[in-house]
Structure 1
Amino acid sequence: MDKINLLIIVNIISLFISLFLAFFLFTLKTKYKTSNLLFAVFLLLNAIDVSEPLFNMMVDGPSNLGMFKSTFVFLQIPIFYLYIISVCYADFKLKPKYLLHLLPYLIVNLILLPRFYTVDAASKMSFIQNRQSMIEFQFIHILIHFQIVIYMITVFRVLRKSKKLYLENFAGKSVSSYNWLFQFTIVLTILYLVALLKNILKFSDYPHISEWLKIGLLVSSLFVFCWYLFKALNNPDIFRNIDSKLRLVSELVSEENSREQSTIAEQKHNEELVKLRKYMVEKKPFLNPSLTIQDVSNEIEIPVRDLSLLINHQIGQHFYDFVNTYRIENAIEILKDQTKNRVTILEILYQVGFNSKSSFNTAFKKHTGITPTSYRKNL
Structure 2
Amino acid sequence: MNDINLLVITTSISLFISLFLAIFLLSVKTKQKTSNALFATFLIITAIDLSGPLLSLIVQNLSNLGMLRNTLAFLQIPIFYLYVLSVCYSDFKLKPKYLLHLLPFLLANVILLPRFYFVNVASKINLLQNRQSVLELQFNHILFHTQIVVYLIAVFMLLRKTKKIYLENYAGANIKSYKWLFQFTIALTILYLIALVKNIFKFSQYEYISEWVNSGLLIFQLFITCWYLLKALNNPSLFRNIDSKLKLVADIILEDKVEEPLAENEKKQDETLSKLQQFMMAEKPYLNPSLTIQDISNTIQIPTRELSILINHHLNQHFYDFVNSYRIEQAMEILKDTTKSKVTILEILYQVGFNSKSSFNTAFKKHTGYTPTDYRKTL
Q: Tell me the TM-score range normalised by the shorter chain.
A: over 0.9
CA deviations over 1:87-137 (Å, ceiling 9, x no partner): 111111000000000000001111101111111211111111111101111
CA contact (8 A) 2:35 2:83 kept: yes
CA distance in 2, matches of 1:334, 1:59: 68
Deviates more, 1:251-260 or 1:262-271: 251-260
Counterparts in 2 of 1:66-145, with a 5 A limit?
A: 66-145=66-145
User: Bigger shift: 357-366 or 173-182?
Assistant: 173-182
Aligned amino acid, residue 307 of structure 1:
L
Q: Quick one: which amino acid aligns to residue 147 of structure 1?
A: Q
Q: Is the 8 A contact 2:22 2:43 kept in 1?
A: yes
How far apart, in 1, do the equivalents of 2:296 and 2:34 lie? 31
Could you tell me how far apart the structure 2 residues matched to 1:178 and 1:198 are? 30
**Segment of structure 1 superposing worse, 300-309 or 165-174:** 165-174
Q: Give the structure 2 partner of residue 151 of structure 1.
A: 151
- The 2-side partners of 1:164 and 1:235 are apart by 23
Deviates more, 1:158-167 or 1:22-31: 22-31
Displacement of 1:335 in angstroms is: 1.1
Which residue of the partner structure matches residue 278 of structure 1?
278
The answer for the alignment partner of 2:24 in structure 1 is 24
Structure 2 vs 1, CA of residues 237 and 306 (structure 1 numbering), >3 Å: closer, same or farther? farther
Say yes or no: does 1:305 pair with 2:305. Answer: yes
Q: Which amino acid aligns with 2:226?
A: C
Partner residue in 2 for 1:215:
215
Give the distance between the partners of 2:207 and 2:261, measured in 1 at CA. 67
Counterpart secondary structure, 2:256: helix
Structure 2 residue aligned with 1:38: 38
CA distance in 2, matches of 1:178, 1:249: 19
Q: Residue in 1 aligned with 2:4?
A: 4
In the TM superposition, what whole-angstrom CA distance separates every residue of 1:250-269 from its partner, at most 9, and x where no partner exists?
10121236535432222111
Distance change (3 Å), C-alpha of 1:258 and 1:123:
farther
Structure 1 equivalent of residue 364 of structure 2: 364
CA distance in 1 between partners of 2:344 and 2:328 (Å) = 15
Deviations 1:268-318 (A, max 9, x none): 111000000000011111111111101100111001111000100111100
User: Match for residue 63 of structure 1?
Assistant: 63
After TM superposition, the score normalised by the length of structure 1 is 0.96
Partners of 1:194 and 1:374 in 2: how far apart? 44
SS at match of 1:265: helix
CA deviation profile, 1:184-224 (whole Å, cap 9, x unmatched): 00001100110111122123233333222222222221221
The Cα offsets for residues 6-35 of structure 1, whole Å up to 9 and x where unpaired, read as: 111111222222222222222333221111
Q: Is the 8 A contact 2:174 2:240 kept in 1?
A: no
Letter in 1 for 2:69: K
Contact 1:61–1:125 (CA<8 Å) still a contact in 2?
no
Secondary structure of 1:289 counterpart: coil
Bigger mean CA deviation after superposition, 273-282 or 111-120: 111-120
Name the amino acid aligned to 1:323. V
- What is the aligned length? 379
Which residue matches 1:374? 374
The residue aligned with 1:319 is 319
Measure, in 2, the Cα distance between the counterparts of 1:140 and 1:4: 27
The equivalent residue for 2:195 is: 195
Q: Is the 8 A contact 2:311 2:318 kept in 1?
A: yes
The two structures have a TM-score, normalised by structure 2, of: 0.96
Report % sequence identity: 67
Residue 239 (structure 1) aligns with: 239
2:111 corresponds to which letter in structure 1?
A: I
Structure 2 residue aligned with 1:329: 329
Matched, 1:49 2:49: yes
Task: For 2:165 and 2:143, locate their aligned partners in 1 and report how far apart those are by CA, in whole Å.
Answer: 33
Letter in 1 for 2:86: S
Amino acid at match of 1:2: N
3-state secondary structure, aligned to 1:204: coil
- Distance 1:303-1:233 versus aligned 2 partners, 3 A rule: farther
8 Å CA contact retained: 1:71, 1:105: yes
Segment of structure 1 superposing worse, 220-229 or 202-211: 202-211
Distance 1:17 1:234 in 2: 16
User: More deviation in 222-231 or 174-183?
Assistant: 222-231
Residue identity opposite 1:285 in structure 2: P
